[in-house]
C-alpha cells in the first residue's frame, strides 16, 4: 500500500474525504489499525495515561516515547506515523524542538511530529518544516497545559477565545504546519477554523465539521470503564478481554486446559 503523505491529507480536505486517525503505542495495535485502513497513527503522549500508569501526560519523557514510536512505525505500512513531543522537550526554543523532533524521526521512524500550542510556537513549526519534519499542531484543550487551563475544559468558548483560536490556527498554518488537531473546542468554532485554514483539521471533541477525527484507541475500543463524553465506544473490547482471561484462569484451575489437542505425545 502507498504511504499516506502530507499532500494526501491536503487532497482529502479539498475533496471532502474525512481523515481517520487513531492513537497507537505498540506494533500489535499499529498493525491492526494500519490494516484496517486508518490514515494516520498518532503515538500520543496519552501513552502516559493509557499504557504507563500515569494520571496525566506531563511526566512522559522522550526516552519513553521513542521505543513506542519505533514499534508503531515498524508495523505501519500505509499510515502516516506522527509522534507527540512530550512536555518539556520542545517549548524552550525552535532548536530544542528540532533536536527532539529529529530523535522521533531518526530513532523512532516517525513521519511527522505533533506539539501543543499556538502562535508563540510558529517559529518552531517553521524551523522543523524547513528542516524536513512535517508538523501537526494541537490547539484547544492542550493536556500538557492543564495546570494553566484550569483542568480538562472546553477551550475557545466566547468571542475573544474563539478569535484567539482562529488566529493561532492561522499562525501555525502560515508557518507551514501540515495539519491541526483541535481538542475540546465548540463545534461551531472548530467549523470556523476548518473553513479558514487550508490545512486539514483533525477533531477530538470538536464536532462533526473537522476534516478528520482522532480518538485515543482505548476509548474508541471500550477498553476501560470510563471514557470521555466526546468518545464513542465502538466496541467493548475491555469486557471481552476480561472474559477471556477469566475463562483461561477457570480452565487452568479446573484442568480443562490444556486438552489433548494442546499437548504433545511421545
Name the residues that contact ligand KIV, by CB under 6 A: 23, 42, 44-46, 84, 181, 183, 204, 214, 216
Q: Let me know if 160 is a catalytic residue.
A: no
Q: CA nearest 12: which of 46, 37, 44, 35?
A: 37
Q: Name the minimum Å distance from CB 174 to ligand KIV.
A: 22
Applying CB under 5 A, which of residues 39, 45, 168, 219 lies at the interface with Na ion? 45
Question: Among residues 9, 44, 76, 137, which is the contact residue for Na ion, using CB under 5 A?
Answer: 44
- Exactly one of 34, 39, 84, 219 binds Na ion (CB under 5 A); that residue is 84
83 phi-psi bin (left φ>0, alpha ψ -120 to 50, beta other): beta
Question: What does the alpha-carbon distance between residue 220 and residue 18 come to, in Å, rounded to a whole number?
Answer: 17
C-beta neighbour count of 199 within 10 angstroms: 22
Residue 116 among known ligand-binding residues: yes
Residue closer to ligand KIV, measured from CB, 43 or 250: 43
C-beta closer to ligand KIV: residue 45 or 211: 45
Q: Is 228 left (phi over 0), alpha (psi -120 to 50) or beta?
A: beta
Give the residue with the Cβ less far from ligand KIV, 147 or 263: 147
149 versus 264: smaller Cβ distance to ligand KIV: 149
Rounded to a whole number of angstroms, the minimum distance from the CB of residue 69 to Na ion is 13
Question: Which residue among 15, 123, 183, 240 is the active-site one?
Answer: 183
Minimum Å gap between C-beta 50 and ligand KIV is 8
Partner whose binding site includes residue 204, from ligand KIV, Na ion, none (CB under 5 to 8 Å by kind): ligand KIV
- Sign of dihedral through CA atoms 38, 56, 62, 53? negative
216 binds, among ligand KIV, Na ion, none (CB under 5 to 8 A by kind): ligand KIV
Q: Which is nearest to 125 in space by CA: 200, 178, 203, 194? A: 178
Which residues, 6 or more positions from 84, have their beta carbon under 8 angstroms from its beta carbon? 42, 43, 44, 45, 46, 65, 113, 114, 115
- Smallest separation (angstroms) from ligand KIV to the CB of 11: 22
45 carries a ligand binding annotation: yes
Whether 242 has a binding-site annotation, put simply, is no
The set of catalytic residues is 183
Q: Which residues bind Na ion (CB under 5 A)?
A: 44-45, 84
Amino acid at each position: 500500500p502507498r504511504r499516506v503523505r502530507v499532500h494526501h491529507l491536503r487532497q482529502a480536505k479539498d475533496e471532502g474525504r474525512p481523515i481517520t486517525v487513531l492513537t497507537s503505542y505498540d506494533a500489535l495495535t499499529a498493525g491492526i489499525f494500519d490494516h484496517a485502513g486508518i490514515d494516520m497513527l498518532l503515538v500520543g503522549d496519552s501513552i502516559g495515561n493509557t499504557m504507563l500508569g500515569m494520571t496525566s501526560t506531563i511526566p512522559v519523557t522522550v526516552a519513553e516515547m521513542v521505543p513506542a514510536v519505533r514499534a508503531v512505525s515498524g508495523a505501519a505500512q500505509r499510515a502516516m506515523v506522527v509522534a507527540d513531543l512530550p512536555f518539556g522537550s520542545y517549548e524552550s526554543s525552535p532548536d530544542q524542538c528540532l533536536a527532539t523532533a529529529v530523535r522521533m524521526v531518526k530513532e523512532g521512524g516517525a513521519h511527522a511530529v505533533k506539539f501543543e500550542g499556538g502562535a508563540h510556537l510558529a517559529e518552531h513549526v517553521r524551523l522543523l518544516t524547513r528542516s524536513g519534519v512535517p508538523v501537526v499542531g494541537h490547539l484547544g484543550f492542550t493536556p500538557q497545559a492543564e495546570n494553566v487551563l484550569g483542568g480538562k475544559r472546553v477551550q475557545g468558548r466566547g468571542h475573544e477565545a474563539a478569535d484567539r483560536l482562529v488566529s493561532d490556527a492561522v499562525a501555525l498554518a502560515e508557518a507551514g504546519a501540515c495539519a491541526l488537531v483541535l481538542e475540546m473546542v465548540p463545534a461551531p468554532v472548530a467549523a470556523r477554523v476548518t473553513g479558514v485554514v487550508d490545512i486539514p483539521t483533525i477533531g477530538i471533541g470538536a464536532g462533526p465539521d473537522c476534516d478528520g477525527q482522532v480518538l485515543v484507541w482505548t476509548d474508541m475500543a471500550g477498553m476501560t470503564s470510563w471514557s470521555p463524553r466526546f468518545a464513542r465506544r465502538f466496541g467493548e473490547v475491555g469486557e471481552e478481554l476480561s472474559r477471556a482471561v477469566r475463562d483461561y484462569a477457570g480452565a487452568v484451575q479446573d484442568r480443562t486446559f490444556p486438552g489433548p489437542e494442546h499437548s504433545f505425545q511421545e
